[in-house]
Amino acid sequence: MNPAADHPLRYALVNELHARPFPHIAVPSHAVYLAIKEPRDAANRSRAADHAHLSALLVRHAAPSPPEGVTHHAGQIGRHALKWESHTEFVTYLAYAAGSSARPFDPAEAEVFPLQWVLDAPGKRVAAVSIRIDWLPENHAEIEPLLDAWFVPESLACAWVLDGAAVVAGDFRIDPAGQMRFALFVRRGTGLGRVGRVVQRLCEIETYRAVSMLGLGRARDLTARLNALDPELSALVERMSHEIDAPEATLHELLRVSSELESLAVSHSFRFGATGAYEAIVAERIGVLRESRFESRQKFSEFMLRRYEPAMRTVRSAEARLRTMLERAARAGELLRTRVDVERSAQNQKVLESMDRRADLQLRLQHTVEGLSVVAISYYGVSLAGYLLAPFAEAFGLGKSALTAGMVPLVVLAVWLMVRRIRRGMR
């Protein structure tokens, strides 16, 4: 087939489906995971800084650096395999190696990511996970004392996953070393790829849980501000139901409240949208684990329903309240603007009526002036005509009075016709 017939993005889009394969992890082993996020405007962060930070870790172990602009990388750092991914708001590092320490969740295992290197990261640590991977004993009850020793019983979640292929446990608490612990007990005969998928899902659950709950703090701050704006908006709406002397001043106050609400919506829209997307990913990742109950312990889905879902409901509630207040302010603004327009229309109508009265008076005055003008012009016309015709009148034996009396009707008629013609020409 001729390659020219293909869409220019066809191969790139197909390759994206296979760009981030699941790791293959042996048993027993351990995995250390790290997610780093810029505290502010993480979506617009410098990707070059992320690449430089990854390269700094690889240089420590004399490993080759990936090309600039890549969004994922797999390599080897010492005895650990490394899997790095760049996401919209954060980058993740997963290091895993065969074997586990005699001390469960030994902080030394996390030293694969040196402390100074973590401190030099272009962002802050938002998730840090330590996973211990062991074989599941034939007597499943043997792991019960381990769970009680490693985790806080009050918040421990433990379940069979992938149709009984493994048991996963974790308490979603941060230990003194700054790590969140998970234990994975794998049934013998389970493939390395399946183990890697469970490890990857656990890391994703913790990461997306953490970044989604960033919206909780924003929701609480937003709720506090909405609590202050709600009475102001209610007072303005209440004032609109009564006669107000200065509706335009009320409209300006309403526009101030509306503009602040719009500003809050703009500043919180991305975080709330991301929170909703991350929440959906958490639910999806837990769903694909296909949990079943282990020894009457609470499942991960039950833990999330009790501890995580209330936080997400708080975020959704704040988002819905902001949207409702925006709609209320918009409706109130429309009503108040309508009221102002009606009052202005009434004022304009009064002005027009006043102008009509003045125009009528001016028209009457004009007619009066025109009448007086006819009289004045006629008077001067008769006088001029009298001077002009007096010599001829004497020849016919007419006196001045008779001549004047005879000319008055003719002159007045002529002047009136002239003024009327002028008026028509001006229309």
Q: How far apart are CA 334 and CA 338, in angstroms?
A: 6
Q: Report yes or no on 204 lying in a domain.
A: no
Report yes or no: 37 and 49 within 8 Å, Cβ to Cβ.
no
The amino acid at residue 59 is V
Residues 391 and 421 in one domain: yes
Indicate if 21 and 125 belong to the same structural domain: yes
DSSP 304: I
pLDDT at 338: 77
Query: What pLDDT score was predicted for residue 32?
Result: 97
Query: Does 346 share its domain with 362?
Result: no
Tell me: do 78 and 226 sit in the same domain.
no
Measured distance CA(325)–CA(300) in Å, rounded: 36
Task: Provide CB contacts within 8 A for 319, sequence distance 6+.
Answer: 219, 268, 272
Cis bond upstream, residue 3 (ω within 30): no
Same domain? For 319 and 374 the reply is: no
Nearest to 177 by CA among 103, 252, 91, 279: 103
pLDDT at 399: 67
> Residue 286 belongs to what domain range?
215-351
Are 18 and 157 in the same domain?
yes
| E-assigned strand segments in 237-305 | 292-293
Residue 263, domain member (yes or no): yes
Same-domain pairing of 59 and 81: yes
Would residue 206 count as lying in a domain?
no
Give 177-224 as a DSSP string. TS-EEEEEEEPTT--HHHHHHHHHHHHHHHHHHHHHTHHHHHHHHHHH
Q: For residue 173, which of 150, 198, 152 has the smallest C-alpha distance?
A: 152
Number of domains in the chain: 3
Do 368 and 337 lie in one domain? The reply is no
Shared-domain flag, residues 382 and 397? yes
For residues 132 and 256, state if they share a domain: no
**Predicted local confidence at residue 254, as pLDDT:** 85
The segments of the chain whose pLDDT lies below 70 read 1-4, 15-20, 243-246, 367, 369-372, 374-375, 379-380, 382, 384-407, 415, 419, 423, 425-427
Q: Domain check: are 315 and 253 in the same one?
A: yes
Q: Are 53 and 168 part of one and the same domain?
A: yes
Per-residue model confidence as pLDDT tens digits over 353-388: 888 888 788 777 776 766 667 667 776 676 766 666
Is 5 part of any domain?
Answer: no
Q: What is the pLDDT of residue 55?
A: 96
Residue 210 lies in a domain: no
